[in-house]
Amino acid sequence: MRIYSVAEVTRYLRELLEADSMLADLWISGEVSNLSESAAGHLYFTLKDEASQLRCVLFHRARLALTLESGTAVVAHGRISIYEVSGTLQFYVDLVQPEGVGMLHLEFERLKAKLADEGLFEPARKRPLPPFPERIGVVTSPTGAVFHDIANIVGRRYPLVELVLSPTPVQGDSAAEGIIQALDTLNNIEGIDLVILARGGGSLEELWAFNEEKVARAIYASRVPVISGVGHDTDFTIADFVADVRAPTPSAAAELAVPHRAELEGRIQSHRKALAAALSGDLDRHRQRIDELTRSASMHLRNFMIISREKLGSRETELASLSPLATLGRGYALVQHSATGEVVSRIAQVERGDAIDIKVSDGQFVGRVTGSKKGLQAWMNGFPSKKR
């Protein structure tokens, strides 16, 4: 036979107790007595009823703003274990509420505080919803109006979507596990952009699955963003706090999940207008540029014409001064051979009897060569100014 040490037995008992899931997380009701406070601020007391007593400790860090009095009836949450040093069985309390508050409310507040403490509700953790989801998973009951309502709203607002119903019971004993499975299934499907977790209105008991810790953790672990739409807008569940977006009702969840086609059509229409306006603005700018270029071209052309005309005018004057007409006007004549039209500038070009045309300033007359004499002296004698 083996003989154990006290430490071995107390450790064994402690391990045995701590391995029990019921003892790790339980609510106990009773009356507070033997209340004392340690220097460190921990509260020690006994919970008792008609038949029994239980040692309790409430550590300083778990006390919050609690005031406890001997003789009051309370409901306490915590775990059972053995304090090995003294070998006493103890209830390690982490939450105390006055008796009379509904159990579910107590559990709700406890879990809410715990998960908030762990950061499951952190706003920074909330993921944005995809603006244009293509596949939306819906975790809800396959019977009942909720899925039907969601399908109606999504179909009306934004029918470019596939709804994938992942069915589960949403109340009763199998609801929590079912919801976790349904979420998990959707998370393992390719292309799901978003999950709506929904249930119609009901009592706190009926909605309870949405307040269970494992459901909260499943929502937290979801790969895709989750919109919760549970009950009516006055119902808040733990699932609502963990979800990326909380919708007050299943219908509201459907509305938050997709854009509205009327709004999209408005946007497309305004884009069309903007396109047309931008293009016509562009066209106007180009037209204006063409205008400017045309104006400047025609101005240049006009300037060129004016300058050209001026040039032409002075050339005409020059030309006039060079014209033989002016010379003829001064009494000179142009002599041409009548037969050939050749201008006669030397006597060798004509012979006696040749017909010649003599052009003067106002016409011409015809003559005939009757003789010629070589040498400049010969014609100087006959110059008109020498005539007497």
Partner 1 sequence: MDERLSFEEALGRLENIVQRLEAGGLTLEEAIALFEEGMGLAKICNERLDAAELKISQLQSALEQKLESEGEALDKS
Q: Establish how many alpha carbons lie within 13 A of residue 9's alpha carbon, considering only the half-sphere containing its beta carbon.
A: 9
Q: Does 219 bind partner 1 (CB under 8 A)?
A: no
User: Which of these ranges, 21-29, 81-89, 99-107, 157-165, lies near partner 1 under the rule CB under 8 A?
Assistant: 157-165
Q: What dihedral angle (degrees, nearest 10) is formed by the CA atoms of 152, 156, 160, 163?
A: -10
Q: Where are the alpha helices (DSSP H) in 132-212?
A: 145-157, 175-187
What's the rounded Cα separation, in Å, for the pair 257 and 254? 5
Q: Does 168 bind partner 1 (CB under 8 A)?
A: yes
Q: Does 174 bind partner 1 (CB under 8 A)?
A: yes
Q: Does 263 bind partner 1 (CB under 8 A)?
A: no
What phi, psi does 56 have (nearest 5°)? -130, 150
Closer residue to partner 1 (CB): 261 or 302: 261
What's the rounded Cα separation, in Å, for the pair 49 and 56? 14
- Residue in 175, 182, 227, 230 binding partner 1, rule: CB under 8 A: 182
CB 82 within 8 A of CB 17: yes
User: Which of these ranges, 196-204, 266-274, 321-329, 372-380, lies near partner 1 under the rule CB under 8 A?
Assistant: 266-274
Closer residue to partner 1 (CB): 29 or 185: 185
User: Which of these ranges, 10-18, 127-135, 201-209, 305-313, lies near partner 1 under the rule CB under 8 A?
Assistant: 127-135
Tell me the number of residues near partner 1 by CB under 8 A: 42
The sign of the torsion formed by the CA atoms of 231, 237, 243, 244 equals: positive
CB 176 within 8 A of CB 118: no
What's the rounded Cα separation, in Å, for the pair 99 and 31? 9
CB 254 within 8 A of CB 229: yes
Q: Does 356 bind partner 1 (CB under 8 A)?
A: no
- Residue in 35, 92, 126, 167 binding partner 1, rule: CB under 8 A: 167
User: Which of these ranges, 86-94, 159-167, 295-303, 377-385, lies near partner 1 under the rule CB under 8 A?
Assistant: 159-167
- Residue in 265, 284, 291, 316 binding partner 1, rule: CB under 8 A: 265
Closer residue to partner 1 (CB): 262 or 326: 262
User: Which of these ranges, 217-225, 259-267, 354-362, 367-375, lies near partner 1 under the rule CB under 8 A?
Assistant: 259-267
The site string for partner 1 over 273-302 (x = CB under 8 A, - otherwise) reads -xxx-xx-xxx-xx----------------
- Residue in 178, 225, 231, 250 binding partner 1, rule: CB under 8 A: 178
Closer residue to partner 1 (CB): 111 or 163: 163
CB 359 within 8 A of CB 377: no
CB 74 within 8 A of CB 98: yes
Q: Does 145 bind partner 1 (CB under 8 A)?
A: no
Terminal-residue alpha carbon distance, the chain = 186
CA-CA distances (angstroms) from residue 313 to 16, 300, 316, 318? 127, 20, 5, 9
- Residue in 60, 232, 261, 373 binding partner 1, rule: CB under 8 A: 261
CB 235 within 8 A of CB 207: yes
CB of 192: closest distance to partner 1 in angstroms?
10
Q: Does 166 bind partner 1 (CB under 8 A)?
A: yes
What's the rounded Cα separation, in Å, for the pair 45 and 230? 40
Q: Does 128 bind partner 1 (CB under 8 A)?
A: no
What's the rounded Cα separation, in Å, for the pair 115 and 214? 11
- Residue in 29, 72, 185, 336 binding partner 1, rule: CB under 8 A: 185
CA-CA distances (angstroms) from residue 283 to 71, 278, 287, 297, 327? 90, 9, 6, 21, 64
What's the rounded Cα separation, in Å, for the pair 94 and 75? 11
CB of 162: closest distance to partner 1 in angstroms?
4
- Residue in 29, 46, 72, 181 binding partner 1, rule: CB under 8 A: 181
Q: Which residues bind partner 1 (CB under 8 A)?
A: 131-132, 134, 142, 151, 154-155, 159-168, 174, 177-178, 181-182, 185-186, 189, 261, 264-265, 267-268, 271-272, 274-276, 278-279, 281-283, 285-286
